[in-house]
Structure 1
């Protein structure tokens, strides 16, 4: 390290503010994070694509079907507490990565930020952890979509291979054709999911107030009998056992939220990314409150946690607490509509996981942390090789033809969920380093296009709870030991540490000091990414501006 420092002040055209940047004289270039990458993707996703992906991108089988399992284990109050807690952690993580993406809307997103502002080894570990988490989730969603068809086809086992093939071809084709086709498909799926969920919430309220065919007013009946909280059956003390029941539902609740960062992954392929990402992130609080929190509250009012239908794992709409309530009320047509909506949700989830996994894999290759051939893009800006490799994992869904593969698929779900917690932890940790770097280099965080006034405290909140989630994911195994369950719950921690330490030792990387964190190199200016927006004039345009 040189003994003297050179202090220079430069006009930062990216933000139109005066920025004081202090470099270590002789080693100035050493700390400039410039991979000299040639990004081949194109900004083809529009404002309506991004806003609908942000609003409904993660609404899927976790909320429609998995919420019933949360209710069964923890009771209505326990389920509500679990969803609120995970919702706050999700919010902190999305605000953190949204702020970083508004500053640097480039390929690779949060793995790139981790390598750029914390440690290149962390970026490597986060990127590969996220990629394989997304990749192994694809066959799970494909199989889930196939199972949903049993609602209409009682002999689906004879047609499984055909259904899987059709689903796989459609899902992969959308991603091969490029980001614009992906955006249009997700826009279409989002409309279906939002319409269905809004209808279910309204229908549920009508049923709860006694407006169903049977005229039975439910109110908060099930909060009194069988009660607001269920027990885990692990310890004798009632309150402690109820707390453990809530803790046991965290993973399932988190599965409903995971994937919200997808809108950030699409930043490098989005028109006006800074403006659109900021707008999407600002709305995420209301999305979590309205769809997730109100959704789980409504479910807890409509169905008792000891309802026999909740104990039946059909994999289709029959196990949805919404459908259970609708059937109990004597309404016959809606379950078919719900199953169709859940099918599109499972398809959408798999479609999104291919997109997210391929873009993170592409970003790793751009930074030299993956094979160079993965950087190849088509003329339309599709990283076709990365997409192809991610799609290849979907072939594992054919394992579902063999009934003995259920255990493997449960492993996949648990591995991807734990990997998601690790991703959220690293996102919030990276934000802390990013924030400190800005302050140290004289950049006002409020000068960013998006800045949450609760930061950096939100990020500390996210770090605390994701760390707790990671450690307690498989806590039940310590009450009734099962080696297989312990392995599935905690092996991801070992894999992540092996990736981090292996790269760190091999490449001799270091944790960047505040003045060494490169906030500018290779980041496009506002003039390069943001286009002038014409104010809405017609009524239709004004309505669209409010919605999107």
Structure 2
């Protein structure tokens, strides 16, 4: 084919897909305005044109593959570290005692790791928009996908106003006289500016936020060891295991442990967020995403288990400071104050503020990507699938921004009740999301086996395997039952319908969504039969021969590594 023919084809393709332009080189302002237009097929350009102009193509739906490996790793390590660790752990310590902290977070961490491994296997094979929300529809059935997907979207859209208000309250640590609404406005604008910068803005912000949180936790751990060993001087002396003896390792028996168990689950919520980046990850997802998800193991061990162990040594469970609110009740701040260090509490309060901004930033990302996925599956209004030419899900941003306006009730004395009920709507979202990931993985593996396929064809096989997902799913059902128990018979209180629904309303909400979709769709199949499951469409590595050759080369390279090299490759 001649060069002139090739040029004609490129010109024809461009004319077919791209809108007419008035100038060959539009102005900066025109380009800015055009960036908000709906993304079309490769933005009206051929693959050759994209390559010549050094542009990255949009994935299905218009999202861009701009998230770098370092950003994904930091999101997996520190992205979901927030008030669950920095503040809620103090309430858990007061409720259950230091031993309950370790038992609760230890068990939750075990099934979370299995869940994340299951997700790593699925996202490396099917790096699609919406990730686990899509897998629920595909590998379980549409009504379950509708219920879980919308519940997850509700969770993130409610988190935003809560985090904004929490940010304004955290500023109150310094006794600011500025109206809280002013701080809410500042943080509101900041979060949406970051997200309007596309996934690059989100990724870079989360990278910086995560680095700060990680440095702060490592610094606290070093300080905690010094304080426990008597480094605070004669005023406190050697602390050791003093608080494990008095007031003791447990404060409220079995129910106290169960309450901590549930708090631990909520504190680790958002860990699965890295799975939503599957469609926007730069590079090969079968390598990048499992490697990032592996980092969750270190976050669990270092940033939760080690840190909470040290907190249990430093802060007595009967400390009155733990009964406060906001950053003042953070066991980290209490520990530093008890050590007689005057400057560090303010510094750590800044870290708490950054953690809140990080979760607020993640909430916009999480909601917008989930709602796009639901719209693309026909489980949400089609206009919510709008993604512009820069890969920004604008309708998702708009809905999140509208709901985020609820944060301005910060000026109202009723804000506590408002947010208690908002959170109740999606309070069990984490349990249902993790359970859905495990069930999707279990059914995928069962379909793979039924169709006579082998796990050797998978780009990445979960280290915890099929039975790891079975274990995690079973424990999650137990946790849901325990949540029902402590909601019906709350610790230290008589049964109260208001308390019950504040803690368990998420369960009926999911059930109503599930049954409502069943009635609307008139599809009363409980689960899609295994032989009908599609386990091939949407694979990024469609060339099986090439994939198997690459996997064989990687296995051979791994086999030739020394023992320590194999350990490092397994862990990292």
Task: Tell me the TM-score range normalised by the shorter chain.
Answer: 0.7 to 0.9
How far did 1:446 drift?
4.0
Q: 1:181 to 1:546 in 2, by over 3 A?
A: farther
Between the two proteins, the alignment pairs up a number of residues equal to 485
Residue 263 (1) aligns with residue 274 (2): yes
Aligned residue in 1 for 2:512: 498
Aligned residue in 2 for 1:372: 382
Alignment partner, residue 465 of structure 1: 475
Judging changes above 3 Å, is the alpha-carbon distance between structure 1 residues 114 and 525 closer, same or farther for their aligned structure 2 residues? same
Pair 1:88–1:348, CA change in 2 (3 A): same
* Cα distance between partner residues in 1 of 2:487 and 2:152: 25
How big is the shift at 1:346? 0.2
In 1, Cα distance between the equivalents of 2:531 and 2:314? Answer: 55
Any idea what the Cα deviations from partners look like across 1:18-48, whole Å, max 9, x if unmatched? Answer: xxxxxxxxxxxxxxxxxxx942111000100
Deviation at residue 490 of structure 1 after TM alignment: 2.5
Q: Which residue in the other structure is 1:69 paired with?
A: 91
Check if 1:312 corresponds to 2:334.
no
Higher relative CO (CA 8 A, sep ≥ 6), structure 1 or 2? 1
Question: CA offsets, 1:248-276, max 9 Å, x none?
Answer: 12232222100001100011011122211
- In the TM superposition, 1:55-134 aligns within 5 A as 55-134=77-156
Show CA shifts across 1:196-229 (max 9, x none): 0110011001100111244611111110111111
Kept in 1: contact 2:424–2:505 (CA 8 A): no
* Shift, 1:445, TM fit: 2.3
Shifted more, 475-484 versus 75-84: the winner is: 475-484
User: 2: distance between equivalents of 1:146 and 1:185?
Assistant: 20
Q: How far is the alpha carbon of 1:140 from its aligned partner?
A: 0.9
Query: Which residue number in structure 1 is paired with residue 503 of structure 2?
Result: 489
Separation in 2, partners of 1:130, 1:394: 16
Closer/same/farther in 2, CA of residues 170 and 547 from structure 1, 3 Å limit: farther
8 Å contact kept, 2:181–2:410: no
Moved more, 301-310 or 436-445: 436-445
What is the aligned partner in structure 1 of residue 183 from structure 2?
A: 163
Q: Deviations over 1:465-514 (max 9, x none)?
A: 21122222253353412111112222222221222222223223332222
Q: Secondary structure at the match of 1:456?
A: helix
Change (3 A) 1:53 1:547: farther
| Structure 2 counterparts to residues 94-243 of structure 1, below 5 A | 94-156=116-178, 159-214=179-234, 216-231=237-252, 242-243=253-254
The structure with the largest alpha-carbon Rg is 2
Q: Give the drift of 1:417.
A: 3.3
- Residue 41 of structure 1: SS of its match in structure 2? coil
Q: C-alpha distance in 2, partners of 1:295/1:38?
A: 41
Task: Supply the distance in 1 between the matched residues of 2:270 and 2:95 (Cα, whole angstroms).
Answer: 24
CA contact (8 A) 2:103 2:261 kept: no
Structure 1: distance between partners of 2:396 and 2:96: 41
Give 5+ residue unaligned stretches, structure 1: 1-36, 232-241, 533-544
Aligned to 2:26: none
Q: Unaligned stretches of 5+ in structure 2?
A: 1-58, 551-568
Give yes or no for the alignment of 1:282 onto 2:304.
Answer: no
Measured against aligned partners, the alpha-carbon deviations of 1:314-339 in whole angstroms (never above 9, x if no partner) come to x12x2221221211111111111100
What's the counterpart of residue 399 of structure 2? 389
Between the aligned partners of 1:319 and 1:406, the Cα distance in structure 2 is 17
Q: 2:60 and 2:288 mapped to 1: Cα distance?
A: 24
